[in-house]
Structure 1
């Protein structure tokens, strides 16, 4: 485990050096904008068709592009994308439900996806992707898995990419997704998804994750900021060799592994994860792991369960947390979002293997409306949780009291999280 961070850093450093040594673009396409309410997506597709190989594609500064149809920007190679302007998605709910780019996991729908290799997308500090998500928040009303909610930005089946210096606002669902991709550097990205109705109905912002990784390897996410209504980062099934550092999150659900085990009979794997130097403000959780119940109840994306797999070699360190509403250190098994008539966890406990996971140097305080549980590790009796450790967990209650610890079915710890022989 001590070798994880140097190995990840070496891989990322080698990749970044290679990315900056790519050949100069041979041709440039500057995308025009109609500016009359019509769809600019055809012009965007044409630019990538002409300049998506050994070229440069430029979205002009101080220019808004209306995106009314899905963008599947595939077969790219050695392309520089200069995103100076703003991409603004339409609010045509019916269109996006019917035409987004589909992926099986939780029935996600993608509005814009990049595929290929050796891709650099640079917003130069001004680039913006506006998902106009309020229409989706009002429609979903807390149903996070509502079919068709569009993801505004996705690297899908990408090898070697840098995405940096732009912002995504008002995403219809998850903000920034890396799917079946490898060797990705994400740097200086700002994400913001806020609902007009959040104070009266905070649930309607559900499933607006910040960064998500699915079946992806060798990812670095750094120097970024997010104000989102769900997980700030979620390492979903198939996430391996990922490093998150220098991240600030507001109003999120925390840094999450999972949910895992949602698909019956499917083996989910997450391993070699480091998240460090993270600040969480107004978060529901700190750094946590969540798995579905052990028996399928209804169907994904809301229902599910009955899968298995393992999580191993995970480091959470140097977290500062303020106004948290649950536990900063948490394992949450038997997750479900299916609604009523879900069997009790005791009747359908999940299976799985969790090993070599550590939490260290957590500081801050909890919300006055919650208790003082700083550590809550609740493992299923049918799962194996071993090699767990914590050190310097100093997250206090709102009154300044020390946090309490609770451990269930964790190898080497009693119910008060004291080490046993």
Structure 2
């Protein structure tokens, strides 16, 4: 574990020194559609045009997102985000058109990836998933098919995500897939149900994890504030060298290790996870380990089991 802690220190020292791309040849500015129409095509087009050695500015205002987005392969790009991305209320579209996560039959609204990316939210850049509609639709159904993860960070290396806000996420706020060398700091997540369904009970904010990681390593989560009613940060299959520090969590189930072992005969592991200086207010747990049994019962996302592997070097 000492080697992992030393790595975290060295990696963090490197990350905090990065504030902008070294060679920003182009500044590309995106403003919201003045008529209030869909902004997703403009965002995707700009990210494609400015995918290397660029600064992409999302100005103040509300960007309406009506379609799934794929913006991958970025290189040496800074994203300067000051506005709000508001996902549409067309639940039928999202349930039918979500992008595949590649695990647990889950889907994604925005697939994002690159190398040497610095995404600066300035403490005001916001993802608003219009989550209340999803909480009411699910109304306690676990892993309702088609509820999209807001942002998937995939095949991303040596990158920083700073000062981004996620409110009323549709499902998990973020997933990290097949990535390495990331710093995510000063992140705010709040998914809270104000539903009038089933009075006096509210529709629960089930499956509103802050972030889940898969097949990823060398990640620092620092200074997170999460209020979501579910797992705050969850390293899942084949995640290693994860540092969680200086964060405050509210009204949820804690830092979750897993789950793993959901797929029969598939080898999975989680190792070298350190959580330090964490405060939990009205949390069910501070941290817990989730595994499936050795015998398969049903199929993902709500069933499974029979997998093999291990979890080790877990500290808080």
Pair member with larger Rg: 1
Contact kept? 2:223, 2:247, Cα under 8 Å: yes
Kept in 2: contact 1:97–1:148 (CA 8 A): yes
**Contact 2:135–2:203 (CA<8 Å) still a contact in 1?**
no
Distance 2:147 2:34 in 1: 25
Give, in angstroms, the shift of residue 296 of structure 1.
1.1
- For the 8 Å contact 2:254–2:284, the answer to whether it is kept is yes
Q: Distance in 2 between matches of 1:99 and 1:133?
A: 17
Deviation at 1:93, TM superposition (A): 0.9
- CA displacement 1:105-155 (0-9 Å, x = unmatched): 121111112112111110112111100011111111122211111111221
Q: Name 1:288's counterpart in structure 2.
A: 288
Query: Do residues 113 (structure 1) and 111 (structure 2) align?
Result: yes
Q: Distance in 2 between matches of 1:98 and 1:286?
A: 36
Q: Does 1:64 align with 2:62?
A: yes
Q: Deviations over 1:269-322 (max 9, x none)?
A: 101110111111111112111111221111100111111101111111xxxxxx
Identify the residue that residue 2 of structure 1 maps to in structure 2: 2
Gaps of 5+ in 1: 317-421
Query: Relative contact order (C-alpha < 8 Å, sep 6+): which is higher?
Result: 2
How far, CA to CA, are the matches of 1:266 and 1:73 in structure 2? 30
Structure 2 gap segments, 5+ residues each: none
Partner in structure 2 of residue 103 of structure 1: 101
| TM-aligned CA deviation for residue 251 of structure 1 | 0.7
Tell me how far 1:59 sits from its aligned partner. Answer: 0.7
Aligned pairs, number: 314
Q: What are the equivalent positions in structure 2 for 1:22-421 lying under 5 Å apart?
A: 22-61=21-60, 63-197=61-195, 200-201=200-201, 204-316=204-316
> Do 2:248 and 2:279's aligned partners in 1 also have CA atoms closer than 8 Å?
yes
1:215–1:202 Cα change, 3 Å: farther
CA contact (8 A) 2:20 2:78 kept: no
Instruction: Work out the CA distance in 2 between the residues paired with 1:104 and 1:31.
Output: 30
CA contact (8 A) 2:195 2:203 kept: no
* 1:12–1:183 Cα contact (<8 Å) kept: no
Q: Distance in 2 between matches of 1:115 and 1:240?
A: 19
Q: Give RMSD over aligned pairs.
A: 1.6
Deviations 1:216-243 (A, max 9, x none): 1100000110101210111111110010
